[in-house]
Structure 1
Amino acid sequence: GEYFMWAAHDDLWEPTYISEMVKVLDNNKSVVLAFCIKDDHFIERGCYYPAGIFLKGTIFKKALTFLTKSLHPIYVYGLIRTPVIKKIGWPISFKKLNRGTYASDALIPFRLIFKGDFYVVDKVLFHHRYMRKYTDIYMKSQKKLDIMRFFILNVLKLFLNIHEYFAKIRKIIFESDLKSHQKYFLVCVTLVLEFKLFIETLYHYFISFLKFVYNKNYRKECCESAVRYNPEFREKRGKKKKYQ
């Protein structure tokens, strides 16, 4: 087809979503991706993006803004020109994406920045739903040693994921047509951001670990959440009670 869209099973679209996006792409040849302002149903937070051509300026400026402003990777769910998505290539396989490859939804928009403009329609036509998947709701044991092992393994895994993500970002930058000094500047920015994210991740897991180990109410809440949101854990816990 002429256009491509990645559709997540847990999101919602208004009936006119696709027709509105098609209209934008048909009328704006420089636009490679069309999306809309949206609402985020996650606790009570709303998240909105400015309408019209988004990320204006040179490619260098757009890439820098993407990196430094921590833009939401939600744009991957917009309508994209099929020839463009074929040209840049899907960076990972669909099977890996379904397994939740770290930050895979941010790589596509970053690649598209080098191919054209983004356009945001000034209508709420897309309703994003977040799957609850925070680390601490998947705890399967209340033993301190098991908890410590769980946190350490997840921190190491996340560190590797973060490094792999930024390595792919740097690869995209070096493959672009930017000038050499612009490429090296953006690469330096990614190194700083990678280190910053490492520190933030370590801090988050350390605080979560302390709260889980020393705060009974927090630990109880996490376990109850695990039962509520994790079918596998709920089933195992049910079997354990049955045999007691």
Structure 2
Amino acid sequence: MNSPFEADPAAGPLPNGWLPGLPAGGTYTIGKRANCDIARTVDGIDGSDLVTVELVLTATELTKPGFVCDFGDLSGLQQHVDQVLDHQDLDTILADPTDAGIVAHVRAWAQENLPDDVRQLLDDVRVFTGRLPDPAADEAVRFRARHWLCDLPDGHKCGRHHGHAYLVTLPDPDQPDNLLPVPGKLREVVLSRFHGQVLNTVFDFNPTSEHLAAVLTAWLVEQELTAVGGRPFTVRVSETASTWSQFTLETA
């Protein structure tokens, strides 16, 4: 018997058109996270903790490779957090060491340091306090696969043949920090068709995480699998622990 994360060798070749094309009319969202361990005082009480800072960017159209923006353009976030916030006493660094103060500090950094075209896509800055929980078993599908990306500058690391440990989740449309259970049919198709594969041979488009999220959203619609109230699912695909991409279909 195959383990839950092994492709089914009996699945056979994929039929033409087994997945829909990339959908039109929706919103692409990406997140980039950075962690720091900090000391601070909040409301007169020690608030030392692990803090995760997240940049959220949105777009309705992707760049030629299939990005909201290149995650490399956001790499300065972790560098800034490491240099300025990590292992520091925020009482001595920030006028406001609360979560709201950290948000204001990081937003100001982003406005000053992100490339112009990327800064225009910045939708939100979020802060999470404490260790982020792993999703429950029924709220996620994990698979391992390889790919490379085209239409990138010479020497870009994502143009090399490489692999990821992917995580697929379904954020609640009303409460994005909550996850919905993954339908069995979606779990089956991801594990049987994606796990252990070179994604460039599975899809006829650049297999960015944005594209994967969009095509899985469209597949769920084709299968008439919907979230609460009959709304289309939002699909989130994470390639790494610090990055994610999701697609939300436009509804009437």
Q: TM-score range by the shorter chain?
A: under 0.3
Higher strand share: 2
Q: What is the TM-score with the length of structure 1 in the denominator?
A: 0.23
Q: What is the TM-score with the length of structure 2 in the denominator?
A: 0.23
Query: Over alpha carbons, which structure has the higher Rg?
Result: 1
